[in-house]
């Protein structure tokens, strides 16, 4: 007679979920999921939506170890699920504004020059 399956007989995987609600703030959870678990199941199991209810109504941008993925992505043991915030400023625009504010002589590759040296050295 076959033994009935229950949730403790199935192989489990451990994953980490990381979310940064604001700059210099990081919240992480270590989760144990079924071997065929998805990113969406990991988000639900973590209690993320209880702690940050505003995320429940947003379209989340997630990734595994820095590579963007979807909520239906199957997880492997020791995966790191990352939830990404939207950029407030385009990095190219921020760099351009910073360069304009600092001036061409005090920013970039040629900012530090030795007295009497050629330009760019």
Residue-wise burial string across 28-38, b where 16 or more C-beta atoms lie within 10 A, e elsewhere: ebebebeeebb
Structural domains of the chain sorted by starting position, each given as residue range(s) with its CATH number in brackets: 12-84 (3.10.20.30)
The per-residue pLDDT of the chain, averaged, comes to 82
Task: Provide the whole-model pTM.
Answer: 0.66
Contact 111, 99 (CB under 8 A): no
The predicted pLDDT at position 1 comes to 43
- 47, two tokens: 């209690």
Contact 27, 51 (CB under 8 A): yes
Spell out the alpha helix ranges (H) of 28-86: 39-46, 48-51
Instruction: pLDDT band for 104, please (50, 70, 90 cuts).
Output: low
Decide: helix, strand or coil at residue 15. Answer: strand
Decide: helix, strand or coil at residue 12. Answer: strand
Write the pLDDT tens digit of every residue in 56-96: 888 889 999 989 998 899 999 999 999 998 888 888 998 88
């Amino acid at each position: 007679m076959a033994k009935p399956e229950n949730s403790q007989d199935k192989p489990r995987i451990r994953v980490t979920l990381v979310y940064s609600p604001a700059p210099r703030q990081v919240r992480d959870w270590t989760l144990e999921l079924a071997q065929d678990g998805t990113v969406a199941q990991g988000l639900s199991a973590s209690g993320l939506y209880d702690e940050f209810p505003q995320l429940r109504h947003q379209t989340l941008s997630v990734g595994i170890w820095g590579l963007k993925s979807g909520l239906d992505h199957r997880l492997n043991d020791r995966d790191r699920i990352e939830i990404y915030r939207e950029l407030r400023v385009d990095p190219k625009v921020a760099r351009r504004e910073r360069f304009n504010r600092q001036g061409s002589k005090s920013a970039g590759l040629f900012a530090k020059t030795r007295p009497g040296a050629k330009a760019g050295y």
